[in-house]
A and B are shown apart, each in its own frame.
Chain A
Amino acid sequence: MKFKVRGIDTFASTGGRPFDKNKPLIIFVHGSGLSHMVWVLQTRYFAFRGYSVLAVDLPGHGLSSGESLKTIEEMGNWVGDVIGAVGCKEASLVGHSQGCLVTMECVAQHPEKIKTLTLMGGASAIPMNPELLRLAEESNPKAVDLMMDFAHGPAGHFGGHPVPGLYHLNVGSMIVQNKEIKDTLGVDFRACDNYKNGPEIAKKLDLPTLSILGAQDRMCRLKDGKILADYIKGSEVKIIEDCGHMMLLEEADQTLEILKKFIAEHYPLAS
């Protein structure tokens, strides 16, 4: 669905159902350089089970216009604006990787709007390897290859995509490469590297929160994900074995099952 946020054309996948502002809203926020397409194995399920779903493309990403936002704070604020832009008052948020920092910021800036928070492959800070950051800012495709290498666990490197016929590493790579690398991945990596508020904000969160972590995550290590979860009062933690950073694709079924239970308990459909 196309709509305007701050006057700029914005795209969000509605999971294959027409958007209905009267249904409980779940917003999915992608990671660095990516787009709504990483969420297809979670969004359609909720969209066909009574929720309204928006897997947004951040400005300048995927099918959204505009320029990439330069800081995590701005991105968090923007996600808050999305809720009003589609005529809703509140939402649950699901973030992946950089999207975890963004959704935490959103909660910090718009606490009244956010009902639950799910963090996948998160950490309280995502400092970038300087060489990877430089390559991304130079639009060097090697940055994407390195990112795909780090993002997938040992099992994901062999393949075994849940959707028959798809090949993990190249799908992720093409989502990033179909945009100018420096304008999306480069800007995002820099924003992650600069962001230092994570621990502070995490300690103040006061809403049902779930962390889904990959045991073999090399992008945001398991121990860093656990530290983040420890900062958050009462955060639930689920660890997926044999899985890297891209749990939403690598272990899409397990990820969906965990998310289903959490949403059903903390953000149920009105009976």
Chain B
Amino acid sequence: MDPKTYKFDTLSLHAGYQPSKNAGSRQVPIYQTTSYMFDDVDHAAALFNLERGGHIYSRMSNPTVQVLEERVCALEGGTAALATASGMSAIFLTIMTLCNAGDHMVVSSQLYGGTVNLFRLTLPKFGIKTTFVKPRDTEGFKKAIQPNTKGIFGELVGNPGNELMNMPEVSNIAKEAGIPLIIDSTYQTPYLCRPFEHGADLVVHSLTKWMSGNGSSMAGILVEGGTFDWMQNDKFPSMTEPYEGYHGLSFAEEFGPTAFTMMARAEGMRDMGPCLAPQNAWNILHGLETLSLRMEKHCSNALKMVEYLSNHESVAWVSHASAPGHPDKELAEKILPKGTGSMIAFGIKGGKEAGAAFINNVKLASHLANVGDARTLVIHPASATHSQMDEATLKFAGLSHDMIRLSVGLEDFEDIVNDFEDGFKAAKKPRLVANK
């Protein structure tokens, strides 16, 4: 006897939506509205006081956005989700819901640059401090925990060094300390990894990337696993004690496995307001329909790319958790059995100038700041995003002058290779290019 609940690919097409409640519309309608009619004053009061479910105002919730929230929630195996205007706002709302002024976070040092800025520079303005720990330094996470630490945050596969955080072990450290583990799973998507199955308590995504794949829309999401017991200690008073904003409601008591998301919406989204536009939610939903198919091809193209680059005379090194000799290969095979994603970093022989020449001479690969588009993307951090940094600072960020960051797309592999050959050819004569 096995449960007949829908499985991953079916959920990516259907979860969170019932045509019969939407005029029979097979595709999810775009509810382009700011607000929703109340039946009467009693209905309005009940909605405002969280006595019943429903929509009030599109800052708080919207029926199109709701489908996206439920769909991602179903794919991650979570209890509740809150979609946001961008990945950054999902991270910000998560931390603002978790922490008060005077609190502290332990955070993996290999993160998307924007997230590093948030923890290093912006959150301290609100009195929230961070200790950074190298992703492979599992013991370091334990040592960095202080009495006022409210959570551990990390990306499973750090960017751009492709170092893995040992999520199962770090989750045990978090459990021992009575704090949640939050994973930014943007690079994996639930197709490659479902962090709740490895001990994470909260998951955030930039949906701007692989989840949609179309590169059309900004979006983010917070997903709750329903696993964390907020009442186990006195570290989370805003979750456990009566909340003035809702007549003394205790979110943990009342909502249990969905308490964090309820709080993030009722307080964070209500007061800070980074809501997702319904049109953007729809664009992301459209991409999600083909998540499995796309991720499969992203990963198979990435594997071919690792092999091609590893054997290329112009390439000094290749970093991808599937690459031979990668120190985290074993862990990757355990946590990411379907593939380690499509982000590759490689070193080009000839250093910074060669890197710049390569970028200037590829035509198919797009030179831009995003990742996870269906199209192949490249960037040379030392001459673009990190051009102001000296060698030592670059090294601390896990970067080097010769590094090219590559987000492998879904094009025919031969076409990507032909394009790269043009880039490598030009990179061999960096001075000529530079003098042009």
A interface with B by C-beta (< 8 Å): 11, 13, 16-18, 35, 37, 40-41, 44-45, 48, 62-63, 129, 131-132, 142, 145-146, 148-149, 155, 157-167, 169-171, 174-175, 178, 242, 252-253, 256
B62-116 with Cβ < 8 A to chain A: 62, 65-66, 69-71, 73-74, 77-83
| A256 partner residues in chain B, CB cutoff 8 A | 52
Query: A158 contacts which of B17, B78, B231 (Cβ < 8 Å)?
Result: B17
Query: B54 contacts which of A45, A157, A162, A175 (Cβ < 8 Å)?
Result: A162
> Sorted from nearest, which 5 A-B pairs have the closest CB atoms?
A162-B53, A174-B226, A164-B61, A174-B257, A163-B53
Q: B74 to A253, Cβ gap below 8 A?
A: no
Of all chain B residues, the one with the shortest Cβ separation from A163 is B53
Q: A41 to B52, Cβ gap below 8 A?
A: yes
CA distance A242 to B18 in the complex (A): 11
Known: A146-B1, A149-B3. A165 touches B82 (CB 8 A): yes
**Nearest Cβ on chain B to A1's Cβ, whole angstroms:** 9
Of all chain B residues, the one with the shortest Cβ separation from A45 is B51
B interface with A by C-beta (< 8 Å): 1-6, 14-18, 20-21, 45-46, 49-55, 60-62, 65-66, 69-71, 73-74, 77-83, 225-227, 229, 231, 246-249, 253-258, 261-262, 265
Q: B18 to A169, Cβ gap below 8 A?
A: no
Q: B254 to A40, Cβ gap below 8 A?
A: yes
Q: A165 to B265, Cβ gap below 8 A?
A: yes
Q: A178 to B257, Cβ gap below 8 A?
A: yes
Query: B80 contacts which of A37, A62, A171 (Cβ < 8 Å)?
Result: A171
Q: B1 to A253, Cβ gap below 8 A?
A: no
Known: A165-B73, A167-B73. A157 touches B254 (CB 8 A): no
| B49 partner residues in chain A, CB cutoff 8 A | 16, 44, 48
Q: B16 to A167, Cβ gap below 8 A?
A: yes
CA distance A73 to B107 in the complex (A): 52
Query: A159 contacts which of B53, B70, B255 (Cβ < 8 Å)?
Result: B70
| A169 partner residues in chain B, CB cutoff 8 A | 5, 74
| B5 partner residues in chain A, CB cutoff 8 A | 145, 148-149, 157, 169
Q: A171 to B226, Cβ gap below 8 A?
A: yes
Q: B229 to A178, Cβ gap below 8 A?
A: yes
**Nearest Cβ on chain B to A30's Cβ, whole angstroms:** 12
Of all chain A residues, the one with the shortest Cβ separation from B4 is A149
Known: A131-B1, A145-B5, A157-B5. A167 touches B254 (CB 8 A): no
| B261 partner residues in chain A, CB cutoff 8 A | 165-166
**Nearest Cβ on chain B to A93's Cβ, whole angstroms:** 20
Q: B54 to A40, Cβ gap below 8 A?
A: no
20 contacts between A and B (CB under 8 A): A18-B248, A41-B53, A48-B45, A129-B1, A142-B3, A146-B1, A148-B3, A158-B6, A158-B14, A158-B16, A160-B18, A160-B21, A161-B70, A164-B69, A166-B80, A167-B74, A167-B80, A169-B5, A174-B226, A253-B54
**Nearest Cβ on chain B to A16's Cβ, whole angstroms:** 5
| A149 partner residues in chain B, CB cutoff 8 A | 3-5
| B66 partner residues in chain A, CB cutoff 8 A | 164-165
| A242 partner residues in chain B, CB cutoff 8 A | 20
CA distance A164 to B31 in the complex (A): 14
CA distance A16 to B262 in the complex (A): 15
Q: A252 to B79, Cβ gap below 8 A?
A: no
| B74 partner residues in chain A, CB cutoff 8 A | 159, 167, 169-170
Q: B70 to A162, Cβ gap below 8 A?
A: no
CA distance A145 to B3 in the complex (A): 6
Q: With contacts A16-B254, A48-B51, A161-B53 known, what are 13 further pairs, Cβ within 8 A? A: A41-B51, A44-B51, A48-B46, A63-B231, A148-B3, A155-B20, A158-B18, A162-B53, A167-B79, A167-B80, A170-B73, A174-B225, A253-B53
Q: A165 to B4, Cβ gap below 8 A?
A: no
CA distance A169 to B16 in the complex (A): 11
| B71 partner residues in chain A, CB cutoff 8 A | 159
CA distance A115 to B225 in the complex (A): 40
Query: B246 contacts which of A16, A35, A131, A171 (Cβ < 8 Å)?
Result: A16
Tell which of B55, B74, B253 has the most Cβ of chain A within 10 Å. Answer: B253
CA distance A252 to B78 in the complex (A): 21
| A252 partner residues in chain B, CB cutoff 8 A | 52-53
**Nearest Cβ on chain B to A106's Cβ, whole angstroms:** 24
| A45 partner residues in chain B, CB cutoff 8 A | 46, 51-52
CA distance A155 to B14 in the complex (A): 11
| A17 partner residues in chain B, CB cutoff 8 A | 247
| B3 partner residues in chain A, CB cutoff 8 A | 142, 145-146, 148-149
Q: B16 to A170, Cβ gap below 8 A?
A: no
| B53 partner residues in chain A, CB cutoff 8 A | 41, 161-164, 166, 252-253
Query: B69 contacts which of A11, A155, A165 (Cβ < 8 Å)?
Result: A165
Of all chain A residues, the one with the shortest Cβ separation from B249 is A16
Q: B17 to A159, Cβ gap below 8 A?
A: yes
**Nearest Cβ on chain A to B202's Cβ, whole angstroms:** 13
Of all chain B residues, the one with the shortest Cβ separation from A62 is B256
| B62 partner residues in chain A, CB cutoff 8 A | 164
Q: B61 to A166, Cβ gap below 8 A?
A: no
**Nearest Cβ on chain A to B205's Cβ, whole angstroms:** 14
**Nearest Cβ on chain B to A23's Cβ, whole angstroms:** 16
Q: B227 to A174, Cβ gap below 8 A?
A: yes
Q: A171 to B257, Cβ gap below 8 A?
A: yes
| A145 partner residues in chain B, CB cutoff 8 A | 3, 5
**Nearest Cβ on chain A to B427's Cβ, whole angstroms:** 48
Tell which of B21, B74, B80, B247 has the most Cβ of chain A within 10 Å. Answer: B80
Of all chain A residues, the one with the shortest Cβ separation from B1 is A131
